[in-house]
Amino acid sequence: MNGQGEERTAFEIGVVVPKRAVKERDESFDCVEVLVEEFKQAGLTVEKVIGIADEFIKLAAPLETLGRAAAELQIKKPTHIGMDLQFEWDEVEAFVRQPDGSLFSWWERFRCFNHLIYGIVNKRNSAVSLKFDGKEFHWELGESLLKRLEAEGIVKQVFPLHDEIKRKQLLRNWALNWWDFTSQPIDDIYSYFGTKVATYFAFLGMYARWMLFPAALGIMLQLVDLGSSQSMMLPIFFISIILWAVMFFQFWKRKNAALLARWQISYSVVADPGCKVLGLDWSSLQSPVELVKKVGTDRAREKEVFQRAEWFGHMMRFRNDVIIFLTIICLQLPFELAYAHLYEITRPDALKFGLTAVYLLAIQYFTKIGGKISVKLIKHESNESTEYRADSLVYKVFGLYFMQSYIGVFYHILLHRDFKTLRQVLIQRLIVSLVLENLMENSLPYLKYSYRKYGVRHKKRHEKGSSTGKIQFTSRVEKEYLKPSYSASIGEELEDGLFDDFLELALQFGMIMMFACAFPLAFAFAALNNVTEIRADALKLLAMLKRPVPRAAATIGAWLNIFQFLIIMSICTNCVLLVCLYDVEGKWKIEPGLAAILIMEHVLLLIKFGFSRFVPEEPAWVRANRMKNATHAQHMCSKQLLRSISGGEKMILGGGKKTE
């Protein structure tokens, strides 16, 4: 596969403009023509496609154009000596290639594209007047053309395009390759979708593979009758499940580290995402580094400023967490309990059905509101990068879903010791997630796509005035444009569709782990579900949706902590389950005093283990100092080193380039 990435420069970005009714006589004033001309001058390869309802500008970038943009962006890339250095086009040989042989990863290419197309500003002597369908407006000096056109509503959308050859390859080798079971071509996924999506699929694959063990155990427990030792089996099953989960996540962390090493992403960058993405404009908004610059170079003052900024940040985050927590406890908890209680006491099934329908509608609405409130709160936090902010959102929203999904089940266990209903609910939910969600995930985007297609056809027919003849969508780019994008059900600004996919996994994990002792067979359902999930998600990404915008993060982020939290929860809930199961005679009465002490103990243990997340080990000023120094060092040695690497070291270090 070596070098293949270089030979072909695919069209990777699409810009959508409406079809013009009137052609300008003088093309130099037509804003679309000007845009195309500027794109060409920026070194991009441009192809114009006239669709049925819109016009599409497809953009590709030759390697040199990308290289120049990368140098302007001061992108840091790993070199053959293992250090991340600023990219320089002249010293291109010094930099390590991607596993597929191309120089830039998809995330880097996307950043470069963004820099190139939004970096087109008016460099002429005066403002240029542009026309579109008769409307005239001015392109001011130093203004970004694309931003202006977006503001005027002329550029409808800028979106990443699928690369048809690679897409088909992946479709064949990955999405439709059911016989591969849980193994996937992770490197190809990485080079096509970027780190975050590839990490998700690597996690999903490993999760599905590891799930086979508890699934087998669960089936055995269900089928084999051990007679007198049967009662001992449940605690043993519980212990092995917990050990399994603990080991799985520790080994996942190792696997993740190995993936990062394979993709040549340095560990420190992942730990401090804020440092890699400093080039983007949204990250440096409120950072204390700015404040320090104003204050000057006095070190004591600097330390003080940092500490104040750090603690203020903590307080804000703490306040927000408290708000969300109280909202969940005071508003959501009573609501969920009320529903669970009503469901329990309602007798006619029709009424039950109606109640559930009302409930389902209500929670849809509530979750949306919760998501919006969370996004608003997070905006006031001074998180260091979008990935941090996305993590903060994930924690908050997961709190909502956690209550929603499990509180009713807890109600059945704790108050009514009603294991039959519990098992019914579990089976019901697992089957729903197995069949319905996998179906929905793929059919919903398809329905949306069909609906939009219909809308366009309908409009077109209306314009033409005739209703005869089927209108075919001939251009692929227009079809892609009509496909829905990979977006989260809440807060599109911070998270993409990965939120929903991870949420599904986390809720499933919680469901099977927390009630493992009540229904060991659940693991088998989950295993089946996960194996299906891999191909269903792959199909969705490749065939049903627009190509997702790449994201920098290369770990599963906040979700790891959520999974860990669910393990702890499941230790506690399963103990309660075991007490309920074995204490059939109700003799093991727990006195209120004892219960209070036990609850206090558990809360304190939780605080002990949770507190280290609240106060970081390294003060902000120490970290800032370290990063400032590192940046300084890299800046100084960058050029000198690059020359020596690309000159002399190529021969010696060439071996490191080969694809693994």
Contacts of a second copy in 253-292 (CB under 8 A): 253-254, 257-258, 260-261, 266-267
Q: Is 617 in the site for a second copy (CB under 8 A)?
A: yes
Q: Is 129 exposed, middle or buried (0-12, 13-18, 19+ CB in 10 A)?
A: exposed
HSE at residue 503, side-chain half, CA atoms within 13 A, is 23
Distance in angstroms (rounded) separating the CA atoms of residues 41 and 39 = 5
d(C-alpha 406, C-alpha 580), whole Å:
18
25 binds a second copy (CB under 8 A): no
| Residue 315 engages a second copy in binding (rule: CB under 8 A) | no
Residue 422 as a binder of a second copy (CB under 8 A): the answer is: no
Helices 386-416, 299-327: inter-axial angle, 10-degree rounding? 30
Nearer to a second copy, 425 or 517 (CB): 517
Q: What is the dihedral of CA 170, 176, 182, 186, to 10 degrees?
A: 0
Restricted to residues 491-520, the positions that interact with a second copy (CB under 8 A) are: none
The answer to the question of residue 368 lying near a second copy (CB under 8 A) is: no
Task: State the nearest-atom distance from the C-beta of 384 to a second copy, in Å.
Answer: 18
**For a second copy, which is the closer residue by CB, 343 or 410?**
410
**What is the rounded (10 degree) CA torsion for 416, 215, 171, 62?**
90
Q: Does 575 bind a second copy (CB under 8 A)?
A: yes
Name every residue whose Cβ is closer than 8 Å to that of residue 118 and which is 6 or more positions away in sequence: 144, 146, 147
Rounded to a whole number of angstroms, the minimum distance from the CB of residue 634 to a second copy is: 9
Q: Based on CB atoms, which residue is closest to a second copy, 543 or 569?
A: 569
Task: Work out which of 372, 628, 650, 657 binds a second copy, going by CB under 8 A.
Answer: 628
User: How many other CB atoms are there within 10 angstroms of residue 49's CB atom?
Assistant: 16
Identity of the residue, 151 or 258, whose beta carbon is nearer to a second copy in the bound complex: 258
Taking contact as CB under 8 A, which single stretch among the options 9-17, 118-126, 233-241, 546-554 is the one that binds a second copy? 233-241
Eight-class DSSP state of 163: -
Task: Report the site for a second copy in 39-58 (rule: CB under 8 A).
Answer: none
Residue span binding a second copy (CB under 8 A) among the ranges 165-173, 294-302, 376-384, 452-460: 294-302
Query: By C-beta, is 436 or 636 nearer to a second copy?
Result: 636
CA distance linking residue 72 with residue 32, whole number of Å: 26
* 304 touching a second copy, by CB under 8 A: no
The reply on whether position 369 binds a second copy by CB under 8 A is no
Give the residue from 491, 516, 498 showing the smallest Cα distance to 559.
498
Nearer to a second copy, 354 or 610 (CB): 610
| Contact with a second copy (CB under 8 A) among 451, 609, 650, 657 | 609
CB closer to a second copy out of 65 and 570: 570
CA 488 to chain centre: 8
**Binding residue for a second copy (CB under 8 A) from 45, 182, 489, 625?**
625
What is the enclosing helix (H) or strand (E) of 68? helix 63-73
No. of helices (H) and no. of strands (E), the chain: 25, 8
Q: Which of 572, 654, 657, 659 binds a second copy (CB under 8 A)?
A: 572
Q: Note whether 654 binds a second copy by CB under 8 A.
A: no
Residue with smaller CB distance to a second copy, 126 or 659: 659
| Per CB under 8 A, 590 contacts a second copy | yes
The answer to whether 633 contacts a second copy (rule: CB under 8 A) is yes
| d(C-alpha 278, C-alpha 275), whole Å | 6
| 439 vs 636, beta carbon nearer a second copy | 636
With vertex at residue 33, the alpha carbon angle to CA 31 and CA 38, rounded to the nearest 5 degrees, is 90
Q: Does 604 bind a second copy (CB under 8 A)?
A: yes
Name which of 23 and 589 has its Cβ closer to a second copy: 589
Total residues in contact with a second copy, by rule CB under 8 A: 72
Contact status: 629 vs a second copy (CB under 8 A): yes
Task: Specify whether the backbone of 101 is left (phi greater than 0), alpha (psi in -120 to 50) or beta.
Answer: left
Report, in Å, the least distance between residue 629 CB and a second copy.
Answer: 2
- The answer to the question of residue 626 lying near a second copy (CB under 8 A) is yes
> Which has the closest alpha carbon to 37: 141, 124, 161?
124
User: With helix as H, strand as E and coil as C, how does 2-55 read?
Assistant: CCHHHHCCCCCEEEEEECCCCCCCCHHHEHHHHHHHHHHHCCCEEEEEECCCEE
Specify the stretch interacting with a second copy by CB under 8 A; choose among 6-14, 351-359, 472-480, 636-644: 636-644
Q: Where are the alpha helices (DSSP H) in 138-265?
A: 145-152, 164-170, 186-193, 195-223, 230-262
Window 542-571: residues binding a second copy (CB under 8 A): 567-568, 571
250 counts as binding a second copy under rule CB under 8 A: yes
Tokens read off for 288: 């204390």
Q: What is the contact mask toward a second copy in residues 73 to 92, using x (rule: CB under 8 A)?
A: --------xxx---------
Q: How far is the CB of 581 from a second copy (least distance, A)?
A: 10
Query: With CB under 8 A as the contact rule, which of the stretches 117-125, 209-217, 320-328, 614-622 interacts with a second copy?
Result: 614-622
Q: 3-state DSSP call for residue 84?
A: strand
Smallest gap from Cβ 377 to a second copy, in A, equals: 25
308 near a second copy, judged by CB under 8 A: no
Q: Is 578 in the site for a second copy (CB under 8 A)?
A: yes
User: What residue has token string 């439709």?
Assistant: 176
